[in-house]
Structure 1
Amino acid sequence: MILYTTVPQDLIFPTEQSEFDNQKVVDWQGIPLLVQQVEKGYKVVRIMSCDPNHFLDDTISPGQFLN
């Protein structure tokens, strides 16, 4: 079976379910983001948009925190 997708292999075939329990897709100002809930709020894990301009925005780059 061949999967042509941009989704990481770890999300399709998870090894440990508890690793991804605190991640969810949110719509932040019209941009879909995969975020992880942390004590400060949300940490951006991945930009799920296909618009190239969203990847140039430093405020939502992976590793940044959202309120």
Structure 2
Amino acid sequence: MILYTMMPQELIFPEDANAWNKIEMLNVKGVPVLAEQLDEGYRITRILSSNPFDYLNPELAPGNVIRHFGP
């Protein structure tokens, strides 16, 4: 079976069965992102925006930990 997707293999076939329970879709400064829930906040894992300038924003870079989010 071949999957044509832009999602990383770790999200489609997680080693941990509860991996999807930790991922949430959030709006950070009006930009939709996927983020992993941590004890101290959320870690951005993926930007889901169609605006190319959102990908240039260092605050939205994957790996950044955010404590407060919203518009």
TM > 0.5: yes
TM-score w.r.t. the length of structure 1 is 0.77
Amino acid at match of 1:6: M
The 5 Å alignment of 1:28-39 reads: 28-39=28-39
Distance 1:43 1:62 in 2: 7
TM-score w.r.t. the length of structure 2 is 0.74
Q: Which has the higher strand share?
A: 1
Q: Percent same amino acid among aligned pairs?
A: 36
Distance 1:58 1:19 in 2: 25
Shift of 1:41: 0.7
Shift of 1:20: 2.4
CA distances 1:4-38 after superposition (whole Å, capped 9, x unpaired)? 43222333344442122111111122211000111
Shift of 1:3: 4.0
Distance 2:36 2:9 in 1: 18
The answer for unaligned runs of 5 or more in structure 2 is none
More relative contact order, 1 or 2 (CA 8 Å, 6+ apart): 2
Distance 2:40 2:15 in 1: 27
The answer for unaligned runs of 5 or more in structure 1 is none
